[in-house]
Each structure stands twice: as structure tokens, then as C-alpha cells.
Chain A
């Protein structure tokens, strides 16, 4: 069974760094793109970017370029989304998804709360 399991909720202060994860199982992790999606409280979905774990080819949406870093460690079948300096406006639910079969598989989401 294909699964994407995301790391748990985080509460951080502005200016702190953070790295959240998305671990894939039940398939060859290096063969499919992993995408990240943001959903701010009460708002819609926003496409952040994607990574191909096979060669770490990474593409960012313009709104997120330079704001976050997407990476992957294929040795442990895990993709990451990280911030070097969080802002209150980064408070959101973050989802990862796998590109196979029309982005059929999604993680459960990681809630990130940034508050002083």
C-alpha cells in the first residue's frame, strides 16, 4: 500500500527555522515526483513546488521561490520542506503528494503554527 506519512504538528516562533518531512512507503520513492501544497487557515490550496527524488530536480512556484527549500533524501525515502526564518504568515497546513496516477496519494498534512 502506498503511503505518505508526514511529520507532526509544529509550533514555532517568528525567525526560527523548521524542516518538516514526508516519508513515502509502498513504492519506489525515486520514481515519482513529490509535490508540496500550502493551505493557510480558511483559505485555498497553493502549489509550492515539486522534487524528483531520483535526481533531486526541484521546481518552485514563483510565489515560493526563495521562501522555502524543498529537498529529499532518497536513502530514507523522505522529502522535506524547510524554512530558514519563519514568519507568522507561514502558519498553515502543508501537504505532500505523489505524482503517480494523477497525484492520487497525499500525506495527512502537517500543521505549522508560527506565533510569538
Chain B
């Protein structure tokens, strides 16, 4: 069985500062890892994914994520946050030995002007 943990309920940063949203996972096989963003009254939007290869993955809107197998982490990062990045962010994992896509509880990001 797989699981995902997002240890921070909320992350607050000033505009222009770097943004990091943390995610750790547990799988029995190898992971496929995903980040989604959710704006108010909207569905989840796909940001990026890690499948294999380069540990640094680049995605939409200037976001990137770093896969760390030894720490079983997949933290989302953005070098310079914008006020418009304020939203709810979800990490998700699929185990290559399974098929279910499991989500973390989410992290609310607030970027202040």
C-alpha cells in the first residue's frame, strides 16, 4: 500500500521569495509522483510528475520538484513566488506495484505581496 504525507498544513512566503512545499511518500515498489494545484471552486490541475531519470523535474508556471529516493521525498519548489501562486497544493503517488493514485492532505500556500 502507498501513502503520502505533506507535513505542513500551511506555508506562508513573501512575494519574490523562494517557495518550498514538502512531500514524503511510502511505496512498496517504485513511485510515480505527481503535484497538483487547486484554486478555490476549481478542480485539481496537474503541475508536474516524476517517472524516472533526472531527479529534478520542471513543470508548469515555473514550478519544479526534486525527487530524493533516499529520503523518499518529492518537494515542490519555485525560486520566486507570486501572489497568484496562493492556492492548495497536493502531492500524489502511484506505486508501480499498484494502480491507485493516492493523495496527501494538501498544503495551503499563501504568498503575501
Q: Do they bind each other?
A: no
Interface positions of A (Cβ within 8 A of B)? none
Residues on B facing A (Cβ under 8 Å): none
